[in-house]
Structures are given as C-alpha cells and as structure tokens.
Amino acid sequence: MAVRHNQIPAPKDGGEPELYVPLWFRVSTLLLLAGSIVVLAIVLGDRLYTSHLAVPSLAAVAAALGCAVFLHLRAWYVGRKEFSSLYQHVLDGVLLLDDRGICLDANPAVLRLLRARADQIIGHSFARFYHQPFGFACEWREFLAAGTRQGQLQLVCPDGSSVHVRYTASANHLPSRHMIILCDISERLEAESESRSSQERLRQVTDNIHEIVWMIDASSKQVIEINRAYETITGRSLQSIQDDPSSYRDLIHPADREVVLAKLEDAVRTGHFDEEFRIVRPDGGVRWLWVKASPLPRHGVVRKLVGTAQDITPKKLAAAEIAQHLAVAESARAQADLARGEAEALRSATLAITQNLRMDVVLDTLLRCVFEVIPYDSASVLFTEEGERLFVAREAPSPPDGRQLIGLELTDNVLLQRVVLARKSIHLHDTRADLDWRDHRAFPHARSWLAVPLISADAVLGLLSISKARPGFFTTEHFRMAKSLAIPAAVAIQNARLYEWAAIYAAERKALLQQISDSRKSVDLDDQNPRRFTN
C-alpha cells in the first residue's frame, strides 16, 4: 500500500522515524514569530528617528525575542529527544494509527514483535495483522466510540507465523491519532497451555487408576484435590466432597474414626501417615482402605498433605479366609491329636478295667482311669437294685470305715430317672441353676455334674457320677470322654458280675457234688454192713 501525502514517512537508512510535531507547538511558534515582527515594526516605526535610544532599545528587544525563540526551540528539542528515546527503547510495542486504522508509526519493539520491517507495517492498515481481518472494521469503530479498549489478540505476522499479545488502546491520544501498546504474551500462554496439558494428562492418569489420589489442607484438613476413584471406592460423588471438603470424615467406620483422625492430625507434625481402617459406604457395605500420606512443606512449614487410598478389602477377606482355614486346620489337627490321645486313654482304660474280673478291682480301676482324663472332686458308681432303686457301689475318694451303704429312690429324683429309665447322659454346668436338682450325700458339694448310664446287653446296670465343687468346670470334651469311658466300664462290670455268678454257681455246684459224693459213700457203707439197720 502506498504512503499517502499526509502520513508520516518511514525512516530512511535505518534512522529514527520522524515524530509527529504537535499542533500547539506549531501555533505557539508562529505566534511568537508574529509577535516579534509586530514589536520590531512598532519600534522601528515610532522611535527609529526620534529617539537617541532607538538603537539600544532595538537591540534589547531583538535580544529578548531571540532568547525567547531559543528557549522555546530548546524546550521542544529536549522534549522531542526524551520522547524519542523512550519511544525507541521501551520493551512494549507502540503503534500510532489514524482514524482509518492505518499505521503511521511503530517503535522497534513492534518490528521485533511482528517479525517485520518498517515498510511492512507503516502505511498499512492494522487489519493486515488482525487474526480476523473481516471483523476489524466493526471492532475499530467500537473502539473509536468507546475511547479505550484492552484485551488479548492473536496477530498474524508477515512471515505467516502468529503471536499472542495483550493490548491497551487509547483513542485520540493526539487529534485523530490513536495509540496501541502491545505486549508479547506468547511464551506465557504457551507455558499456561503446557501447564494445562500437563494437568490434563495428570488428570487422565489419576482418573484411570484404581487408587484414590488426594490432597488436603494441613491446617483445616479439608480436601483440595481428589480423583474420580473416590466415587468408585466410597460410593459417593465427587460433587459431594467438593460441596463439603470435610465429608470424608463421615465415611470412616465409627469404631476407627477417632484413631484415624488423631493419626491424621499427628501427620502434620510427624510427616508420617500409614493406616489401614474401615469405611462405610452409603449402601451399608464395609470396605477396608490402606491410606498413606506425605507432607508438602513450604518454607519449612507443612501446608498440605498428599497421599493415596487403596481398597484392600479383597486382601483383607482373603487374609481372613486364610486365617479361618488355618484355624480349621489347626482345630482339625488338635482334634486329631485329641482323638489319638482319647483313643490311647480309652485303650489304656479298657485294658486296665478288663484285666481283672473281681468287681471291687474293676470299680477301683474305673474311678482311677476316669480321674486321669477328667479331674474330679468326687466320683461314684451306682448300681440299680430291683429296677426302682440305686445304691452306691464304689466312690472316690474312699469313704471312712464304718459308713453305711448309701441308697437312692428313683421316684424322688427326676434327673436320675432321666439317666436310668430314659438312658440319657446329663451335663449340668451349675446344679444350683437347675430346678430338678436335689442335693444328696451321694453327690457331696456337686456344682458341676456329669451322669452317664452304664448299659450292657441293652440293660442299664447303673450310672457313673462325676462331680466338681466349682460350677462350669466340666467341658464338652469332659462329657464326651465320660460317655466314652462308660462303654468299656459297663462291659467290665457285666463281666465281673458274670464272673461272680459263675464263681457262686461253681461253689454251689461243688457243694452239690460233695453232697452227692457223700450220699454215695453212705449208700455203699450200708450195702457192705446190712446188720447196721437190723441192730
């Protein structure tokens, strides 16, 4: 575009551009010159020939006018140089435009900013560099009407590149002259764009991992940042914690809340937080979290805490399941050991009980074997008598000599009826808490009591009674061992009875045979001596 006659020409040979001469300076200079001419005319016309002081007066007036003109020109020159220096060396670009938006002048900062020569800027419309050339005219009219404007622009350089600027525009800075100041913000915008990109990439990473990543204010303990995994793990929305940054406290299980919040408070001082605790989801489900945190100090003061929260519920459930399996295995092993021990004890007891067929030996051995596996205070073996009566056949510890035989009527004791008639074993944890219990000297000081029927060949021979003065002493294992021992005991007692009956039968048979033998001897004597009867 050609430079018009009323535009300021571009500088030649790389010199400084011509500055616009203000109108006030032009007018004041003309008035000063005109005044000087008028004064000289008056002095020369009136006094040149009439006064002997004409020459000195003329010289004084001329000197005064010369000084005034000199001072005026010097002030203009100094001001021009100062403005020119500022205009040339300021870091921001300065453009002067006319009413049509034509560039009249541009400082070197503009040339560097737009990567252009002076002849590519001066004399051309600013729309040439506008990012939307077709909208420049409308915006330029709005600017002239408003008088000022500021904001950001994307300008297109002559080489095709673009630059982002922050601008401040002032209309009629001089009559029909408008100033635009441009500041390059491309690097800042690029840094901001890179920062936003980095934040977006970080957000994409944090939103696609299965752990909660969080940041809280160290003093208020309110959440500053948190990722989307918060919704998946806790069952609550991100909006809920954004509206109430302290609402995470309500998630913590009531049993763990006080300890966790206290440890979080200590983390500001100690710089360490590593805890496993439970949370309660809105649906009532309980989850386990492993939360770790580290401080973010600033100038030696912890301002923020940043950390992660990992859902370890499957790990906890697996650990609990493993522990349960181990407990079952340990219990099975213990039961197996116990079973082996019981089997050995039963084998030894059975062998000991059945080694002798004497009833007194069998009963003493039975009570001794019972004590080895069930530590009692007192125990006794009771035999049935005529179906409705019991008597104590043996007891331990042994009673004092001369003690009478102890008998019990079944009709007087409901518990004994249950054992003998119903053939049910009984385990009382506390006899005083049982309404059917009746104190009897056959069960002295009994608080914890076991009673097991002795059954052999489908007949109830009696019962085994075991007592302890302390309530709740006997366990389920004791009860089971007592029932196990009662089986070989009943067999041994039945064998002892059969042995006794066999011994009695043998004695009776021997006596009968002796009688028969004696009778035969008597008959033989009679046959040999018949006169015995005649005499």
Global model pTM greater than 0.95: no
Residue-level pLDDT at 113: 87
Q: Strand 426-428: give its sheet, edge to edge.
A: 407-409, 389-396, 378-385, 459-468, 448-456, 426-428
Q: At what angle do helices 359-373 and 313-354 cross, to 10 degrees?
A: 160
Q: Output the CA–CA distances (angstroms, integers) from residue 272 to 86, 297, 305, 306, in the order listed.
A: 57, 13, 10, 11
Residue-level pLDDT at 15: 43
- Tell me the one-letter amino acid at 193: S
Best CA proximity match to 91, nearest among 110, 116, 118, 115? 110
- Tell me the one-letter amino acid at 510: K
State how far the Cα of 362 lies from the Cα of 493, in Å rounded to an integer.
7
What's phi and psi for 107, nearest 5 deg?
-80, 170
Residue-level pLDDT at 27: 64
Residues of the chain short of pLDDT 70, as ranges, are 1-33, 35-87, 202, 205-208, 334-356, 387, 401-403, 502-509, 513, 520-521, 523-535
Residue-level pLDDT at 5: 32
